[in-house]
Chain A
Amino acid sequence: MTAPAPTSPVPASAPALGTAPAGGVSGFGRLLASEWTKIRSVRSTVWTLIAFVAVTVGFEVLLTSLISASWNSGPNHVTRDATISADPVNFIMGAGINLGQLTICVLGVLLITTEYGTGVIRASLLAVPRRWPMLTAKIVVFAVLMLVVSEIVVFSIFFIGSAIMHSHAPVSFGDPGVSRAVVGAGLYLTVLGLFALGIGGLIRHTAGAVSTVIGVVLVLPILAGLLPGSWGEHINAYLPEQAGSLIATHAESKAAHLLTPWEGFGVLCLWTALMLAGAFYLLHRRDA
């Protein structure tokens, strides 16, 4: 299909805009609207978000159902059941999030690397030549979107998971630390997404950035765990994913972990701030 070719420049249809209304939106509000249009108008981001919901809820149902069915049976069930009973909210949230968080990492990366991959970054920077407001708006829009979607998802999986596990490891939202763990899980996913966005801004290539984020989230904790003595434990405590996900556990004391849940979340926030700062710096420095 080809477009009908206009026969003339049609000046009449391109009226002067010298007096055009500014739209009644402040400068930064415009950029938020613009970034929102970018996110919602590309299939890759929309589908990644759908995948996040599907994977998280799907694995929540799958894992909690499997454990529930094999409760009190199977090899090593004593330790396993005891661990779950000691911190049921940790198990319930982790069942969905452990895999679901990977889609968030991909989404955060894609949001910025597709701009470089497709060349849209040039259009974006022509529109916002000072550059930083564009990235700031992108971060704000993504953070709000992630927070809303994540909180809906984590509340859903908590109620689904706790209902399935009810007869074996009862937990209610009102129990001490549980509301913090559930709300915190949404915060964790949001900040993890921003961490991935920061990596995407640093590396600019989708494959490289996704590999890096997955490596940090999945592989580093395993590698650190192989270190001798208490080295692994101490390093692990400060890795972004390990520290950040503490907030989705019941544990309040430093006894079980080296950091409290909020301290762990703070560590993730610091990592994220570092990556985003790097992304801002390089966006400013590099040719587009």
Chain B
Amino acid sequence: MIEACDLTKSYGGKVAVDHLSFIVQPGRVTGFLGPNGAGKSTTMRLILGLDRPQSGSATIDGKSYDELANPLRTVGALLEAKSVHPGRSARNHLLFLAQSQGLPARRVDEVLDLVGLRAVAGKRAGTFSLGMSQRLGIAGAMLGDPRVLLLDEPVNGLDPEGVLWIRNLMKYLASEGRTILVSSHLMNEMAVTADHLIVIGRGKLIADSATADVIARSSEQSVRVVSPDAVRLTPLIEAEGGKVTPVAQSRDPGASADPAPALTVTGLGAPRIGELAASSSVVLHELSPQLASLEEAFMELTAGSLEFGEHGQGGPPGEPATPAPAATPGGSAR
């Protein structure tokens, strides 16, 4: 379990992590999500004791990182920044790490096998491709068979096969009861990998809940309605408190051969819209609830933190979803 408590860190007056608190539970993959520069890497460095926080603390299974006797046997980390000497062979890089933890040298070969680098173990790490470097980083993280793993953008630079491999590895490791915190700025990757999401923007917590909940809570639930009788339907919906936005024919990606106008309705569910239409004998060609993608949910979540730094505060709990179907800056003046 990783516990961050009120972590704050600024560099030269610029706040990178701002009173950030969260808990990463074991047994599941926790995605650590945020736009570039949101403070993900800094947070990981604070947890790992590489940087010192101005205030707050981070603990791993109840201990701060520098209290761990053989830290690599408890925590494995893959940092985004390079941490390998390009002139040193992969095997020697892992060997000095293993020796520092009192791990037997055969463990080096085991993790080289795990990541598929055994054949190039004697080669200088500087000759490795980005994907091979990432695998070497994973090997280093797995060296001590740690209960806790922190992976900073692990799929960066990997080919699809490598991405799949890391995804499966993380899920497998989580299924063994380990604590996995994996950062990414790629929402779609997190959607298929993470069970739980911690979303930050400008160093502040935006969301901390199950991946499905994050999508559901932060995205607007809208309903797409296509009706030749839209003119009659609109006041009916508005009378019930719904908000109707006509979809311009030219900009409607869903427009097929149907010449009937399309509407986007928010604030009213599809069943009620159907009942209203039936009671007034309005013909409907289409009535479909729209699900936002994780990408849209993320844009929605972090838009505030990007545009108006102060609004990311507090996170979504209790707050209703913000009505901003198209993320136009002017339209989301909250």
- Which residue numbers of A lie inside 8 Å of B, CB to CB? 1-11, 13-18, 20-23, 25, 27, 30-31, 33-35, 37-38, 41-44, 114-115, 118-130, 134, 287-288
> Are A41 and B92 CB-contacts (below 8 A) given A10-B114, A17-B144?
yes
- Which chain A residue lies CB-closest to B150? A126
A287 to B81, CA, bound (A): 14
Q: A17-B144, A42-B87, A288-B51 are in contact. Are A37 and B95 (CB under 8 A)?
A: yes
A-B contact pairs, 15 of them (CB 8 A): A3-B116, A5-B116, A6-B114, A6-B165, A7-B165, A15-B110, A17-B73, A23-B104, A31-B100, A33-B99, A34-B100, A120-B83, A121-B83, A123-B84, A125-B49
Contact at B110–A13, with CB atoms within 8 Å? yes
Tell me if B102 and A114 are in contact (CB < 8 A): no
> How many residues of B sit at the interface, in one of the four size bands?
35 or more
- Asked if residues A129 and B71 are in contact (CB atoms below 8 Å), the reply is yes
Could you tell me the distance in whole angstroms from the C-beta of B119 to the nearest C-beta in chain A? 6
* Inter-subunit contact A118/B71 (CB<8 Å): no
User: Which listed residue (A17, A120, A129) contacts B85, Cβ 8 A?
Assistant: A120
In the assembled complex, how far is the CB of residue A62 from the closest CB belonging to chain B, in whole angstroms?
Answer: 31
Q: Nearest CB to that of B75 among chain A residues? A: A126
Whether the Cβ atoms of B165 and A118 lie closer than 8 Å is no
Residue in B48, B50, B100, B120 with the greatest tally of chain A CB atoms within 10 Å: B100
Question: With A and B bound together, what is the CA distance between A20 and B79 in angstroms?
Answer: 26
B96's contact among A14, A15, A34, by CB below 8 Å, is which? A34
The interface of chain B, by Cβ under 8 A from chain A, is: 45, 48-52, 65-66, 68, 71-73, 75, 77, 79, 81-89, 92-93, 95-97, 99-104, 107, 110-111, 113-117, 119-120, 129, 131-132, 135, 140, 142, 144-145, 161-162, 165, 168-169, 172-173, 176
Min Cβ gap A41→B in Å is 4
Tell me the nearest residue of chain A to B128, going by C-beta. Answer: A3
Q: Is the CB–CB distance between A123 and B51 below 8 Å?
A: no
Pairwise interchain contact B92-A129, C-beta atoms closer than 8 A: no
When the two chains form their complex, are residues A44 and B66 in contact, meaning their CB atoms are under 8 A apart? Answer: no
**Contact status B99-A37, CB under 8 Å:** yes
Specify which chain B residues have a CB less than 8 angstroms from the CB of A44 in the assembled complex.
87
**A-B residue pairs, 6 tightest by C-beta:** A41-B92, A129-B66, A34-B100, A6-B116, A37-B96, A34-B99
| Chain B min CB distance to A79 (Å) | 48
B82 proximity list for chain A (CB < 8 A) = 118-119
CB proximity of B98 to chain A, nearest CB, Å: 8
Q: Is the CB of A9 within 8 A of B169?
A: yes
**Contact yes or no, B87 A125, CB < 8 A:** no
- Complex contacts, A31 vs chain B, CB 8 Å: 99-100
